[in-house]
Structure 1
Amino acid sequence: MLQVKDIPNAEILQKFADRYPQTNIKNVITFLNLLRVGSDLSIGLNNYLAEYDLLQGRWWVLLLLMREENLSSTPSTLAEKAGVSRATMTGLLDGLLREKLISRVQGRQDRRQILIRLTALGQEKLDEVMPGYYQRVNHLMHALTETETIQLMSLLEKVYQRRHVFEEKSLLKD
């Protein structure tokens, strides 16, 4: 993943604004800071998970399975919930299967259906990882007051609702 490390200042961005009149310097700086925080947090999470021989994708699959009442789900549902392609999910599942953190089982109703189930070893892995994860999250978020946390969540939700502008072919649709 590319890290956003060197965020340009307003003076540098003014050069871009001179060339691209639609540039709003304040919005660009805010956006780049949001990207920087997100990429730094993601890298920090990867570093922490690596201590347990996990990557974010595999960790997330284990969490998705743990959320299920019967600790099972279909590969396609997991792919959808994780926001990855089925091919990517297959790769994640193959690695977790090799380490016996998950198992494949046939569906009860339809024996053609394959379910992925969190194993006892997979639960043990989560039980190792999650206390430190929550400790780190709590330490990080302790920088904000309760009011600031609520405000941040509200602001992030506003930005999240507009994320589709990067997904559309034309930004002029909005």
Structure 2
Amino acid sequence: MLLLKELPTSKSLEKFVKRYPDADIAAISDFVNLLRASSDISTALDKLLAKHELLQGRWWVLVLLMRQDDLTSTPTDLAEKAGVTKATMTGFIDGLVREGLVTRITDDVDRRKLLIKLTDAGQQKLDIVLPDYYKKVSALMSLLNTDQRASLLVNVNVLASGLDVMK
């Protein structure tokens, strides 16, 4: 998440060009603006979820469980699908268990295997949050027409597919 609230002006970026002549100021400015917008969108989602006493990590766990036909998954699968470490997922699950939104159950086939299941309370939480989420996301996305949205997704996916250059 980008913590920088004041984005650099073209004048301030010119100072960097003097010191780093190979810097592509337009690319840097566009990149920082993209980071800022992404961060602001993520913050807006945090605020929406906070109204429902949820954090993004826990929210995505509930959503991932609801996607499953049996509302059940392993912690490892949840971590992979959420793009977080197993330790981070354990923290999310611990909080959701304390809140009664998920439960840990032992696999019937392999008693060593732990499964995470969405509880009725977890489903009720989603039934309250999802309509609000859908309404707000639709309102935000309606700021772009269909062509703009398609173009945005193509461009974002092009950038995402080239992230190896950042290594």
TM value normalised by structure 2: 0.95
1:171 corresponds to which residue?
none
2:137 corresponds to which residue?
137
1:147 corresponds to which residue?
147
1:79-137 deviation per Cα after TM superposition (whole angstroms, max 9, x unaligned): 11111111111111000000110011111321211100011110110111111111111
Q: What are the within-5 Å matches in structure 2 for residues 1-174 of structure 1?
A: 2-166=2-166, 168=167
Looking at structure 2, the residues matched to 101 and 22 of structure 1 have their Cα atoms a distance apart, in angstroms, of 52
Looking at structure 2, the residues matched to 50 and 90 of structure 1 have their Cα atoms a distance apart, in angstroms, of 21
Q: CA deviation at 1:2?
A: 4.7
Looking at structure 1, the residues matched to 52 and 164 of structure 2 have their Cα atoms a distance apart, in angstroms, of 35
SS at match of 1:14: helix
| Structure 1 stretches of 4+ moved >4 Å | none
State the aligned residue count. 167
Looking at structure 1, the residues matched to 125 and 78 of structure 2 have their Cα atoms a distance apart, in angstroms, of 19
Give the gaps of 5 or more residues in structure 1: 169-174
1:172 corresponds to which residue?
none
Whether the aligned pair in 2 keeps the contact of 1:106 and 1:113 (CA below 8 Å) is yes
The RMSD of aligned alpha carbons is 1.2
Give the gaps of 5 or more residues in structure 2: none
Looking at structure 1, the residues matched to 69 and 26 of structure 2 have their Cα atoms a distance apart, in angstroms, of 46
